Amino acid sequence: MTEEPLNLALDYGPKLGTKTDSRLGVIGAGFIMRDVHLAAYEEAGFDVVAIASRTPQNARAAAELRGIERVHDDWRDLLADPDVEIVDIAYPPDQQLGIIREAVKHAGHIKGILAQKPLTTNLADAAEIVRLCDEAGIPLGVNQNMRYDQSMRALKTLLDRGYLGDPVVAQITMHARPHWQSFIREYDRVAILNMSIHHLDIYRFLFGDPERILVSVRPDPRTDFPHSDGMAFYILEYEDGLRAVGIDNTFSWVDHGIEWRVEGTEGVAKGTIGWPDYPAGSPSTIDFLTKRRPDYWFQPRWQEQWFPQAFIGTMAQLMRAVETGTEPEISGHDNLKTMALLEAAYRSASEGRAVDPRQEMAEAPA
């Protein structure tokens, strides 16, 4: 019997367009911008021409570290800078609407906007951001960067090629102690908004939109400010029977890490996400078994990491959209469905029942 050939090129890296010299202006100079976005852009050779931050001295320090020549003391001045073609925003989610409201006034020279995830703290504000960008004709991308984690890209390739058959069950288990930024203290929404949103969005990327979500939350004893969802546990129910489960344990004392697993009718894939040990860093991993090669575990490995290399992909997909006049892969329109799933998650946790995220979308402002 002749074995069917397997394509083991797992397409896990970012896709760059033919034009990678768009002039970037970045807003924000905290960890995620200074040590992740800008490190990724430097590696990719992207042209960052200007930076601004809430704290000008932080912007100047990041500019010196990353070789950015122009520092604006106010982000409004950066938006008005005619040299800036694409704006990359890494601000607290409750402030991104205000920045984008101003950015669309400069549609003449601003050709694209990449906003940090979560896009906002709620679906209504996210819908307003999308409306503003649509009216201005500016492509909007949302930095759902886990979609460019190498193991997630490889897993998506396996699913698309049918190597795992029909998905039956998926799971993501996180044991970690995230550093909650100071601005999160002002929100009642914590774990789902700021951490589970990665996992909710990646399930949408891998499997599409679920019919229902069922969520349980509890406070995290280590978190010293008022909150409802310090830890989150959820099940996504799909029409075809797939169940996708998430455990986001932000209280864990030891053995920090993120593990994932997908079982299908024709195979299984499992792996790890290489984030919790940042800044030392380690690549994410994937192991998979398929009936097309029974009894053999494939264990491809790579050197790239989620932080920072995945962030090359999030900017590159927006550059390609600007270049080709197409919708970004992680567009604002697509992200509204992630925000609707997030709203459904909070409603489920509050009301103690499964919730259809499509109802949240239907009730969102037009």
Structure tokens at 196: 């589970």
**Which of the 8 DSSP states describes residue 203?**
H
| Domain annotation covers residue 224 | yes
How far is it, in rounded angstroms, from Cα 319 to Cα 315?
A: 6
| Domain annotation covers residue 205 | yes
Co-location of 99 and 175 in the same domain: no
| Domain annotation covers residue 96 | yes
Co-location of 197 and 257 in the same domain: yes
Residue 284 C-beta-side C-alpha neighbours within 13 Å: 28
How far is it, in rounded angstroms, from Cα 238 to Cα 170?
A: 11
Co-location of 142 and 189 in the same domain: no
pLDDT of residue 3: 63
Name every residue whose Cβ is closer than 8 Å to that of residue 31 and which is 6 or more positions away in sequence. none
| Domain annotation covers residue 366 | no
365 has a pLDDT exceeding 90: no
Q: How would residue 366 be classed by pLDDT, with cut points 50, 70 and 90?
A: low
| Domain annotation covers residue 236 | yes
Stated pTM of the model: 0.97
100 has a pLDDT exceeding 80: yes
- Here the CATH number for the domain that contains residue 322 is 3.40.50.720
- The predicted model gives 123-134 an average pLDDT of 98
How far is it, in rounded angstroms, from Cα 366 to Cα 350?
A: 25
Co-location of 140 and 177 in the same domain: no
| Domain annotation covers residue 34 | yes
Co-location of 210 and 289 in the same domain: yes
- Here the CATH number for the domain that contains residue 202 is 3.30.360.10
Co-location of 230 and 256 in the same domain: yes
- The predicted model gives 254-264 an average pLDDT of 95
- The predicted model gives 11-40 an average pLDDT of 96
Quote the distance between the C-alpha of residue 215 and its chain's center.
Answer: 20
Co-location of 210 and 134 in the same domain: no
Nearest to 176 by CA among 214, 121, 232, 116: 232
pLDDT of residue 364: 82
Co-location of 118 and 200 in the same domain: no
pLDDT in tens, 324-352: 999 999 999 999 999 999 999 999 999 99
Co-location of 97 and 193 in the same domain: no
| Domain annotation covers residue 188 | yes
Co-location of 155 and 297 in the same domain: yes
Average pLDDT, the chain: 96
Helix (H, G, I), strand (E, B) or coil at 138: coil
Co-location of 140 and 276 in the same domain: no
How far is it, in rounded angstroms, from Cα 175 to Cα 276?
A: 9
Strands 231-237 and 212-218: antiparallel
pLDDT in tens, 112-122: 999 999 999 99
Residue 268, domain extent: 150-305+338-351
Strands 47-52 and 70-72: parallel
| Domain annotation covers residue 169 | yes
Domain count, the chain: 2
Co-location of 199 and 141 in the same domain: no
103 has a pLDDT exceeding 50: yes
By percentage, how much of the chain surpasses pLDDT 90? 92
1 has a pLDDT exceeding 50: no
